[in-house]
Structure 1
Amino acid sequence: MRPHEECSEQNATSDAASWAGVASIAAGAFLLVTTEFLPIGMLSPIAAGFRVTEGTAGLAVTAPGFIAAIAAPVMTIAAGRVDRRTVIVVMTLAIIVSNVIAAAAPDFTIFLIGRLILGVAVGGLWSFAVAIGRRLVPESAGARATSIISAGISAGTVCGMPVGAVAGDLVGWRWVFAANALLGLLIILAQVRFLPRLPTIVPINVARLIDFARVPMARIGLIASGFVAAGHFIAYTFLEPHLRDSLAFGQSGVALALAGYAVAGIAGAFAGEHLAIRNIRQALAVSSAAVGLFVVAAASLAGAPTAAVIMVMLWGFTFGAVPVCVQVWMFTSSPKLYEAGSALMVSAFQVALAAGAAVGGLLVDSSGIGAAFLVGGVVCVVGAFIPLLSRTPDASPSTLPPP
C-alpha cells in the first residue's frame, strides 16, 4: 500500500469513528428524552398501579423538569475539568439507574426518586451533549453533528409518548422501563467504545455563566426558546387526548398519527440544520412561528380529521427544527462559552416545559383542549418575534478570563 493511500485509509477510519461517537451521543440523547416523556403515554396505568390519582402520577413528568432546570448549571460547574467522555458515560448510567428503579419500584415514592435521578441526567447530558459532539468532528461539520444529536433529542421528544402508550398497552408499563434500561446498556457500551478522551477546554464557573447571560444575542435566544418550549408543551402535553377525543381516533389511529408526528420531527431536525446554516435568526423565527400556526390549525380543523393530522405532522416537522436552531443560536452567541450556553438553555427549556404543561392542564380543565392549543400557538408565535430583535450575526466575546 502506498503511503498516501495508507494515510487516506486512516483518515477515513478516524472520520468513521468520530461520527460513530456523535451517533452514540445522539442515541444517549434519544434514550434520555424518551425516558423523560414515557410516563405521558402511560399515566393512567402508572396511577392505577400505585393507587394514586393521575394528578399525582403527573409528578413523574413535571418533577424531572424542575430538577433538570437546577441540575443543568450546577452539573456544568461541578464537572469542572472532568473528562467530558466520563461525564457523558456517567449521565447515561444515571438514565439506566432511573429506568431500573422505575421498573422495580414497590411504591410511588421510590418511583419518583427514580424520576428525580433522571432529572439530574437531563440537566447534565443536555448541557454537554451537543458541545461534545461538535468537538468530535471538523469545525465545518459542526452543524451536521448538532443536527444529528438534536435529531436524537427531537426523536425522543416525539417518540416518548407514543412508545409509552402503545408498548404500555402491549406489555405493561414496568416492562417498558425495563426495556429502556436494556437499551441504555447497549448505548453506554457504544459510548465507551467510540468516544475518545475529551479533556476540558474551558471549565465553567458561575462567572462564566453570567458572562454568557450578558451576551445580548444569548439572552434573546434564551427568552425565545423559553416562549417556544412553553407554547409547544401547553399543547403537546394534550396531543394524545386531542387525537382521541377531538378527532375521535381509536388506539391504532392515535398510534399512527403520533408515529407520523415522530417521523416528521426527525426530518425537521435536518431541515433545521440547513436553515440555520443560511441565516440563524430567520431560521429560529420561521420555525417557531410555523410551530404556533400549525398548533392552532390542528385544533381548528377538528371537524376534518385528515387535514388535522396533516397539521399535526407539520407541527412535528417544524418543532423538530427548533432544537437545532436554538443550539446553533447558542453556539453563535459565544462559541467559547458554549457549555455555559447549553446549561442555561436547558434550564430555560425545562422550566418552560414544566410551566407549559401546568398551564395547559389548567386551560384544558377550565376551557377544553382547543383553548390550550390556541394559547400554546399564540405563545409560540410571540416567541418567534423575539429572535428578530437580534440584528448581529455574532455577539461572542473575543477573549475569556483565565481559567
Structure 2
Amino acid sequence: MTETQAAETLPSRGAERDGFPWSALLALAAAGFLAIFTETVPAGLLPQLSTGLGISEPAAGQLVTLYALGSVAAAIPLVAATRSMSRKKVLLTAVLGLAVLNTVTTVAPWYELILVARFAAGAAAALIWGVLAGYARRLVEPGLQGRALTVTGIGQPIALACGVPLGALAGSVVDWRWVFAALSVAAAFLALWIASAVPDVPGQPPANRIASPRVVLLPGIRPILLVALSWVLGHNILYTYAAPLLAPTGLRLDIGLAVFGVAAFLGITATGVVIDRALRATVLGVLALMAVASAGLTHPALGAVLIGVVVAVWGFSFGGAPALLQTALADRAGEHTDVAQSVFVTVFNLAVGGGGLLGGAILATSAPATALAWTALALSALAALAVGLCRKAFPPGRRGNPGEDEGP
C-alpha cells in the first residue's frame, strides 16, 4: 500500500490526523491487555478453581487450554467473515463478547459450561487480535504506523507479567468468581472507552478481498511467519518451564518473572522509538539478545544475580517481538493486513502451545533443564538466519524506504 493510499484510510477526524492519537491507541492496548489477562488469570487461581468446582488442578488448567484452542480455531474464519464490517463494530463486539462470556464463567454452575465459555472467549480474543494491528495502523500516517502498533502492544507484556500473580493475589482475598466478575465489568468499561475515544474505520470492500491462503503466498509473508514461529516457540519453551529452568540458579521464580515483565515493558518501549526507522536492524538486534540470554540460561552456575541479568535481557529482547513481527507482516500484506494478522494469531498460539509440548517432551527424556535453553538458542539462531536471508520480508532502512542506511 502506498503512503497516499494509506493516508486515504485515515479517519476523517482532524484531531486524530494531526496529532498522535494516544487515547485511541491506549484503548486498543487495553483491549489486548484484557484478552491476555483473561487468558492467563486462571493459572493464578488453580487451587481456588479446583476447590470451588470440585475438580483437580490439572483439570482447572484446561480453562487456559480451551481459551487458547478457541483462539487457534477461530482466528482465520472469524476475521475473514467480518473483514467487510466496520472495524469499530467488530472490536466492540469482541470486547462485549468477553464481558458476556466472563459473566457466564462467573455464574455457571457446571465445569463443562465454563469450558465452553472459555473456548468462546478465546474466539473473541482471536477477533480482537485479528483487527488490532490493522486498526492501529489506519489511525496514523504511514511513517508512524510502527510506533502506533508498538503503543497498541504495550498491554501484552503487562498482562503476561501481571495475569498470574494478580490472579493469585485476588484469589487469596475473594472467591474466584469475583475475579471473573471484575473482568466482565472491566470489559464493559473498556467498550465505553472504545466507543467514545476510538475513531471508526471501514472494513475491506468485497472487491479487494483475497482468500487467506493467497495472503500467505504474498511476497515476504511466509518468511515472517517462520520467524514468528521460531521466535515465539523458543520464548515459550523458556517461559512455560521457567520454574525448572531457574530452580538450580538460586533465582526465585516470582522474582525472575517480575524481572522479565519489567524488562519486557522496557523492551516494547524502546521498540517504539526505533521501529519505524530501523525495523530490520531492530529485529536482528533483539534476536541476538535473545540468543545471548538463551546461552546464559545454559549456565545455571552463574548464580542468582547474573541469571537475573540474563532474564532481564531475555525479557527486553522479547518485549517488542509482537509489534516488530506484526509491523513487518502488515507492511507486506498492505490492505490485506487483517487477514494476514489472523494467520499470525494462529501461528502465534500454535507456538505458545508448541512451547509447552516441546519443552515437556524434552524434560520427559530426563534431559537437564538446560536443554530447554539450548533449544531456545537454536530457535533464536534459526529466526535470525531467516531474517538475514529474507530482505524482502525485513527490508533495510526506514520503513517505506527500503535501501536507506539502517540506524536509529
What TM-score, normalized by structure 1, do the two folds share? 0.85
1:162/1:377 CA distance change after superposition, 3 Å: farther
1:13/1:211 CA distance change after superposition, 3 Å: closer
Deviation, structure 1 residue 383: 2.2
Once the two structures are superposed, the pairs formed by residues 109-128 of structure 1 within 5 Å of their partners are 109-128=112-131
Find 1:235's aligned residue among 235, 238, 244. 238
- Contact 2:83 / 2:338 at 8 angstroms: preserved in 1? no
Q: Determine the structure 2 residue equivalent to 1:398.
A: none
| Inter-partner Cα distance in structure 2 for 1:72 and 1:351 | 12
Once the two structures are superposed, the pairs formed by residues 250-329 of structure 1 within 5 Å of their partners are 254-298=253-297, 300-301=299-300, 304-329=303-328
1:136/1:355 CA distance change after superposition, 3 Å: same
1:293/1:38 CA distance change after superposition, 3 Å: farther
Deviation, structure 1 residue 191: 0.5
- Contact 2:145 / 2:276 at 8 angstroms: preserved in 1? no
| Inter-partner Cα distance in structure 1 for 2:192 and 2:255 | 32
Deviation, structure 1 residue 240: 4.7
- Contact 2:16 / 2:140 at 8 angstroms: preserved in 1? no
- Contact 1:76 / 1:204 at 8 angstroms: preserved in 2? no
Q: Percent identity?
A: 26
- Contact 1:77 / 1:205 at 8 angstroms: preserved in 2? no
- Contact 2:17 / 2:141 at 8 angstroms: preserved in 1? no
Deviation, structure 1 residue 278: 3.1
**What amino acid maps onto 2:177 in structure 1?**
R
Find 2:136's aligned residue among 120, 126, 133. 133
Deviation, structure 1 residue 346: 0.7
Once the two structures are superposed, the pairs formed by residues 190-209 of structure 1 within 5 Å of their partners are 190-203=193-206, 207-209=210-212
- Contact 1:231 / 1:292 at 8 angstroms: preserved in 2? no
- Contact 1:93 / 1:188 at 8 angstroms: preserved in 2? yes
Q: Deviations over 1:65-115 (max 9, x none)?
A: 232122111111110421110001111112222322333333321221121
| Inter-partner Cα distance in structure 1 for 2:208 and 2:233 | 28
Deviation, structure 1 residue 46: 2.7
Q: Determine the structure 2 residue equivalent to 1:400.
A: none
**What amino acid maps onto 2:390 in structure 1?**
S
Deviation, structure 1 residue 281: 2.8
Once the two structures are superposed, the pairs formed by residues 6-21 of structure 1 within 5 Å of their partners are 18-21=21-24
Deviation, structure 1 residue 248: 5.3
| Inter-partner Cα distance in structure 2 for 1:276 and 1:23 | 18
Are 1:68 and 2:67 counterparts?
A: no
RMSD (Å) for aligned C-alpha atoms:
2.8
Q: Which has the higher helix share?
A: 1
| Inter-partner Cα distance in structure 2 for 1:394 and 1:262 | 30
Q: Determine the structure 1 residue equivalent to 2:183.
A: 180
**What amino acid maps onto 2:129 in structure 1?**
W
| Inter-partner Cα distance in structure 1 for 2:172 and 2:294 | 27
Q: Deviations over 1:29-79 (max 9, x none)?
A: 111111112223333443343333333333222222232122111111110
- Contact 2:224 / 2:328 at 8 angstroms: preserved in 1? yes
Deviation, structure 1 residue 338: 1.1
- Contact 2:238 / 2:245 at 8 angstroms: preserved in 1? no
Are 1:26 and 2:38 counterparts?
A: no
Deviation, structure 1 residue 247: 4.8
**Could you say what secondary structure the match of 2:382 adopts?**
helix
1:364/1:105 CA distance change after superposition, 3 Å: farther
1:386/1:170 CA distance change after superposition, 3 Å: farther
**What amino acid maps onto 1:388 in structure 2?**
G
**Range with greater deviation from structure 2 (216-225 or 230-239):** 230-239
Are 1:360 and 2:359 counterparts?
A: yes
| Inter-partner Cα distance in structure 2 for 1:102 and 1:292 | 40
Q: Determine the structure 2 residue equivalent to 1:95.
A: 98
Paired residues, number: 383
**Could you say what secondary structure the match of 1:197 adopts?**
coil
Q: Determine the structure 1 residue equivalent to 2:56.
A: 53
Q: Determine the structure 1 residue equivalent to 2:6.
A: none
| Inter-partner Cα distance in structure 1 for 2:133 and 2:107 | 32
Deviation, structure 1 residue 217: 1.0
Once the two structures are superposed, the pairs formed by residues 33-48 of structure 1 within 5 Å of their partners are 33-48=36-51
Q: Deviations over 1:143-194 (max 9, x none)?
A: 2210011111232233323322333334353333222222222211101111
- Contact 1:202 / 1:336 at 8 angstroms: preserved in 2? no
- Contact 2:280 / 2:395 at 8 angstroms: preserved in 1? no
Question: Gapped runs of 5+ residues in structure 1?
Answer: 1-9, 396-403
1:394/1:241 CA distance change after superposition, 3 Å: closer
What TM-score, normalized by structure 2, do the two folds share? 0.84
**Range with greater deviation from structure 2 (345-354 or 167-176):** 167-176
1:248/1:102 CA distance change after superposition, 3 Å: farther
